[in-house]
Amino acid sequence: MIMEEPVGRADRPGEGGRPDKRRAILDGALAVFARDGYTRASVDAIAREAAVSTRTIYNQFHDKATLFGEVIQDSARRVAQAQITLLQRYLTKVVDVEADLIEFGRVWATPMPEFRAHFALVRQINAEAGHVPQAALDAWQESGPRRVRAELARLLGRLGERGLLRLDDPERAAVHFAVLTAAEVTARTYHGALPLPEAEIHRLADSGVRAFLHGYAGLAAVRSAGEVCLTRQPLAADEHS
């Protein structure tokens, strides 16, 4: 007699087991992985955090590695969803490119506290990328950053069609925008570093948007950006290298 293929059972991720337990595990694992990193995080600790027996973890996800992969993908998907919502809120009814992009840039660069664990996890991934199977990395990129970037590209493209931006390759423009506006902030949001003061975030975001407009708008943008930037602000010193 053959395997019978019990209809909605486990084996493939996303099936089998009680969904509430599954959620608890994913949330708990995210917290622990983000705090301790893959190797240091013990399955027992995750089980404790999720208020679940370790056996349940092994039943729903076959082993620690696949659990890790599922956690990444799940968390990335959620963050991507939130970011896409943000994109659509700010970039669908643009009238003044400069003002609206500046406003959006500030929101975009401001870290969302409910996703702090996620970004800690991303740091973990980037640190030990050499030990994460390529397939997991791809799945993560696909269901997270790539989707966001595509949507950003789409919306920037629209602005291009309306003559508000001058861009030949929306995809590339999207990458540039994301890097220019968020990079400085994330670069300084590392370890337990005290959260950047709002003014500093705005300042960095503004200069990023300005740089972006430099390349993708008429020179008019450069002029007006000059006024926006220069308010003196207190700053929390922190390092990079």
Partner DNA sequence: GCTAAGCTACAACGGTCGGTGTAGAAAGTG
Partner DNA sequence: CACTTTCTACACCGACCGTTGTAGCTTAGC
Rule CB under 7 A: which residues touch DNA?
6, 9-10, 16-18, 21-22, 41-45, 51-56, 58-60, 62-65
| Smallest gap from residue 15 Cβ to a second copy (A) | 28
> Among 21, 119, 139, 224, which residue interacts with a second copy (rule: CB under 8 A)?
119
Give, as one character, the DSSP assignment of residue 95. Answer: S
CA distances from 54 to 30, 43, 133 (A): 15, 7, 23
- 230 contributes a contact to a second copy by CB under 8 A: yes
Backbone angles phi, psi at 189, to 5 degrees: -105, 15
Q: Are 125 and 237 in contact (CB under 8 A)?
A: no
* Binding window for a second copy (CB under 8 A); candidates: 1-9, 22-30, 56-64, 206-214: 206-214
Please, which residue, 66 or 207, has the CB nearer to a second copy? 207
- 220 contributes a contact to a second copy by CB under 8 A: no
Widest CA span of the chain, in angstroms? 78
* Binding window for a second copy (CB under 8 A); candidates: 2-10, 20-28, 49-57, 204-212: 204-212
Residue listed under structure tokens 């059972």: 9
- 36 contributes a contact to a second copy by CB under 8 A: yes
| Smallest gap from residue 191 Cβ to a second copy (A) | 3
End-to-end Cα spacing for the chain: 63
- 101 contributes a contact to a second copy by CB under 8 A: no
| Smallest gap from residue 9 Cβ to a second copy (A) | 34
Kindly determine how many residues on this chain lie close enough to bind a second copy according to the rule CB under 8 A: 62
Contact map string, positions 47 to 86, toward a second copy, x by CB under 8 A: --------------------------------x---x---
If we measure between CA atoms, which residue out of 115, 25, 102, 123 comes closest to residue 66? Answer: 25
If we measure between CA atoms, which residue out of 56, 5, 230, 34 comes closest to residue 122? Answer: 34
Q: Which positions from 158 through 197 interact with a second copy, judged by CB under 8 A? A: 168-169, 171-172, 175, 178-180, 182-184, 186-188, 190-192
Q: How far is Cα 179 from Cα 105, in angstroms, rounded to an integer? A: 11
Structural element, H or E, at residue 156? helix 145-161
Residue 150, judged by CB atoms within 10 A of its CB (0-12, 13-18, 19+), counts as middle
Q: Are 67 and 29 in contact (CB under 8 A)?
A: yes
- What, of DNA, a second copy, none, does residue 65 touch, CB below 5 to 8 Å by kind? DNA
| Smallest gap from residue 160 Cβ to a second copy (A) | 15
